[in-house]
């Protein structure tokens, strides 16, 4: 693994993400773009269309997709358990403990992970990365909310919230189209192509806009646990679990890359909603995102070799 290989991998796969993210950051600072409104557009329109398009076009082998789902559930739970054990050992207070559990469990698999996999490994790996994204999003809005609420969540509201996940319906619709060979009308097909093609650039701009309000502050011990688990432990655990689940090829590239992403920006939403340590969560997102090119460049070279 030479320096030129590392630099080339960084320039071709990560630098484009940083450039578009930087454009979004600048746009957010200068024009005060509302990240929440832009995020809703991505979440409710563009992300579901992209997932639908990936599943319909590539027609994944469902046995391999099931392995990626199992892989995702396992690594998310393991990361949460490790964060809880480390945090308990350091006797962190409850708000800080919950913050590192959530930021260690849930990675930025949407507006960072999907573009990175697309640039590095192409559409075949992107399909499996999409499966990871769907699974972890589902877990975030169920298990993540339960953890954040500390048992004070209304079960009815949680179930209704799940029914509002647009990616869930995109997956179900894609399954129906593939299984029954349903022909998509040309106007609708073209609309899907247009939206899917614009999703990744929009996600990258959104990433930059979301980062404009992040402040580097918080419990340093807790912060080091979260960042260390996300950037260093997660890739190693991901590679081990991929071998355990027999995941290879494009599925391995997509799943392990997604597992190794920095903390999910949406964790800040839970912080505000459930009165968690918002400064610590924001710091974990910021620092892990800032340092992620260092670890991800090495990982991409390894997975691509």
**For the chain, what are the domain ranges?**
3-304
Identify the weakest region by mean pLDDT among 63-77, 123-137, 210-224, 277-291. Answer: 210-224
Burial of 83-101, coded b for 16+ CB within 10 Å and e otherwise, reads bbebbeeeebeebbbbbbb
Kindly give, in sequence order, each residue whose CB lies less than 8 Å from that of residue 47, ignoring residues fewer than 6 positions away.
110, 166, 167, 199, 203
Selected residue with higher pLDDT from 77 and 147: 77
pLDDT at 17 over 60: yes
pLDDT value of position 269: 67
How far is Cα 133 from Cα 136, in angstroms, rounded to an integer?
5
pLDDT value of position 107: 95
pLDDT at 149 over 80: no
Pairs from 98-101 (Cβ < 8 Å, separation ≥ 24): 98/147, 98/148, 98/150, 98/276, 98/277, 99/222, 99/226, 99/271, 99/276, 99/277, 99/280, 99/281, 99/284, 100/222, 100/223, 100/225, 100/226, 100/229, 100/280, 100/284, 101/147
Measured CA to CA in angstroms, residue 62 lies from 68, 170, 186 at distances of: 10, 16, 26
Q: How is domain 3-304 classified at the CATH fold level? A: Na+/H+ antiporter like fold (1.20.1530)
Selected residue with higher pLDDT from 256 and 56: 256
pLDDT at 148 over 70: yes
pLDDT value of position 151: 44
pLDDT value of position 79: 97
Selected residue with higher pLDDT from 32 and 241: 241
For 221, what's the count of Cα atoms within 13 Å in the CB-facing half-sphere? Answer: 10
Over residues 292-301, the mean pLDDT reads 95
21 pLDDT tier (thresholds 50, 70, 90): confident
Identify the weakest region by mean pLDDT among 147-161, 214-228, 239-253. Answer: 147-161
pLDDT in tens, 72-120: 999 999 999 999 999 999 998 888 898 899 999 999 998 899 999 999 9
Selected residue with higher pLDDT from 290 and 61: 290
How far is Cα 241 from Cα 214, in angstroms, rounded to an integer?
32
pLDDT at 272 over 80: no
């Amino acid at each position: 693994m030479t320096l030129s290989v590392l630099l080339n991998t960084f320039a071709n796969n990560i630098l484009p993400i940083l450039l578009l993210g930087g454009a979004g950051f600048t746009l957010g600072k200068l024009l005060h773009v509302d990240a929440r409104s832009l995020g809703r557009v991505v979440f409710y329109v563009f992300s579901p269309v992209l997932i639908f398009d990936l599943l319909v076009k590539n027609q994944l082998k469902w046995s391999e997709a099931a392995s990626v789902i199992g892989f995702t559930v396992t690594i998310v739970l393991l990361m949460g358990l490790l964060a809880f054990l480390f945090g308990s050992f350091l006797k962190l207070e409850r708000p800080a403990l919950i913050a590192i559990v959530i930021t260690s469990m849930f990675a930025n698999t949407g507006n960072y992970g999907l573009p990175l996999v697309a640039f590095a490994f192409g559409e075949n790996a992107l399909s499996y990365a999409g499966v990871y994204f769907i699974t972890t999003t589902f877990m975030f809005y169920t298990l993540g909310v339960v953890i954040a609420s500390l048992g004070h969540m209304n079960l009815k509201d949680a179930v209704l919230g799940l029914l509002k996940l647009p990616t869930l319906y995109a997956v179900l619709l894609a399954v129906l189209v593939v299984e029954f060979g349903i022909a998509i009308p040309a106007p609708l097909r073209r609309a899907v192509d247009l939206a899917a093609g614009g999703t990744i650039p929009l996600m990258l701009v959104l990433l930059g806009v979301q980062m404009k309000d992040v402040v580097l502050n918080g419990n340093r011990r807790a912060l080091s646990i979260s960042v260390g688990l996300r950037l260093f432990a997660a890739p190693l655990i991901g590679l081990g679990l991929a071998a355990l689940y027999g995941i290879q090829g494009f599925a391995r590239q997509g799943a392990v890359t997604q597992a190794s992403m920095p903390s999910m920006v949406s964790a800040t939403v839970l912080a505000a909603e459930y009165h968690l340590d918002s400064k610590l969560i924001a710091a974990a997102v910021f620092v892990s995102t800032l340092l992620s090119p260092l670890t991800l460049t090495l990982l991409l070279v390894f997975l691509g070799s």
